[in-house]
Amino acid sequence: MVISKFIDLDAAARNRVIDSGISELNGRESLAWASIKVSSAGWQNDNAVFSAMDTYLGPDYPWTVGPTENGGTIRFQSETEIALTRTASSISVAGKWSK
pLDDT tens profile 54-65: 999 999 999 999
Q: Which domain holds residue 52?
A: 2-98
- Alpha carbon 88 to chain centroid, angstroms: 13
Q: What's this model's pTM, rounded to 2 decimal places?
A: 0.85
- Give the residues across from 53 on adjacent strands: none
Q: What is the CA radius of gyration of the chain?
A: 16
**What is the count of structural domains for the chain?**
1
pLDDT tens profile 28-53: 999 999 999 999 888 889 999 999 99
